[in-house]
Amino acid sequence: MTHQVETLQRMAILSPPNSKSFAVASSRVESSGAGKSHKASHARTIAVTSGKGGVGKSNFAVNVSLELAALGRRVSLLDGDLALANADVLLGLHPQYHLGHVLAGLRTLDEVVVRVGSGVRLIPGGSGFEELANLSHNQHTRLIAELCAMENDSDFLIIDTAAGIGHNVMDVLRAAAEVVIVTTPDPTAVVDAYATIKVLHNHSPSKPISIVVNDVVGIGDADHIFSQLRSAVSRFLNHEIYHLGTVPRDAELAEAVREQRPVVEYAPDSPSARAFRLIAKHLHTACRVGPPASGSSTPFWRLLTEADV
């Protein structure tokens, strides 16, 4: 923790204000329709990202998607790391087809989708396919056209993006209604999370951004880390961020990954599973984290098309 404080002090964080929790932020958003499983005109799109790889981003996306489905929501989970996808691995699946087959015209999207349980539809990316990381404009347009119908038939669209601040990642973050950034107490992960917020802010100054602190050991560490991040973002970017939740370090989570099973199914009473369940309940009952995003009434894939022009 000492090294982390020193790192953030180098960002000129001197006196962080009090942490603003997700619960406080949620109390200020509209509550109409909260907790109801109604069919919306298009899905609530949440892009899950991280500045640094290996912080548990995909685990978060997979487990929260399953918990949202358990609450009666229709969830589409897009493995947006097209060339290094691993959501299928965490679910113990071996899809025969992936988005690369859709882009090549060999399969339709419906033939690629894998149903997981009763409420989650996984759209698998590819793994080890370099060309999927650098889509042409025509391929990008074709992919978006295929995905539009799925968005209209979901309550939540959870997008597990690639890590980092590349052009393709930023296009997705700009188009999504909300962004969740997963970090850990590791100083490099925190600094990279700030860098991601900074780049995204330059593109979308009003984007609702929430933070999940994963792999937390010490009591109060997550609040401290979020407070440091919030202070930096407020001071230098004048952007509000929200604390969506905390996931504790959990040996059963690591074991679930080795077994290629989601921890909410492998060890549903474990600390990490309970944390994912609580976060899903927050998302289920709150309309949106923070103020409405500009243009959020426009379907995600149309916004992504505009971002790619």
| pLDDT given at position 108 | 83
Listed as own residue / partner, the contacts of 165-168 with beta carbons closer than 8 Å and 24 or more positions apart are 165/51, 165/195, 165/196, 165/199, 168/133, 168/135
CB 182 within 8 A of CB 212: yes
Please state whether the predicted TM-score (pTM) of the whole model is above 0.75. yes
Percent helix, percent strand, percent coil in the chain, to nearest 5: 45, 15, 40
Residue 94 CA to residue 114 CA, distance in Å, equals 10
Cα torsion for 298, 302, 303, 307, to the nearest 10°? -160
pLDDT digits over 138-179, tens only?
Answer: 766 666 666 776 777 889 999 999 899 988 789 889 988 999
**Each residue of 202-232: pLDDT tens digit?**
999 999 999 999 999 988 999 999 999 999 9
Which DSSP letter does residue 125 get? -
Q: What is the pLDDT of residue 110?
A: 87
Q: What's the pLDDT score for residue 6?
A: 43
Residue 116 main-chain phi, psi, to 5 deg: -115, 115
Instruction: Check residue 303 and give its pLDDT.
Output: 59
Confidence of residue 104 (pLDDT cuts 50, 70, 90): confident
How would you class 188 by CB atoms within 10 Å of its CB: exposed for 0-12, middle for 13-18, buried for 19 or more? middle
Q: Which of 179, 125, 172, 197 is nearest to 308 (CA)?
A: 172
What is each CA distance from 64 to 16, 48, 138, 162, 193, in whole angstroms?
30, 11, 32, 17, 20
Q: How far apart are CA 272 and CA 251, in angstroms?
A: 9
* pLDDT for res 12: 30
Q: Which domains does the chain have, with CATH numbers?
A: 2-28+38-308 (3.40.50.300)
Q: Which of 111-125, 185-199, 287-301 has the lowest mean pLDDT?
A: 287-301
CB atoms within 10 A of CB 245: 24
pLDDT tens digit string along 234-285?
999 999 999 999 999 999 999 999 999 999 999 999 999 999 999 999 999 8
Detail the DSSP E strand segments found in 184-234.
Answer: 209-216
Q: What is the mean pLDDT of residues 107-115?
A: 90
Whether the per-residue pLDDT at 297 is higher than 50: the answer is: no
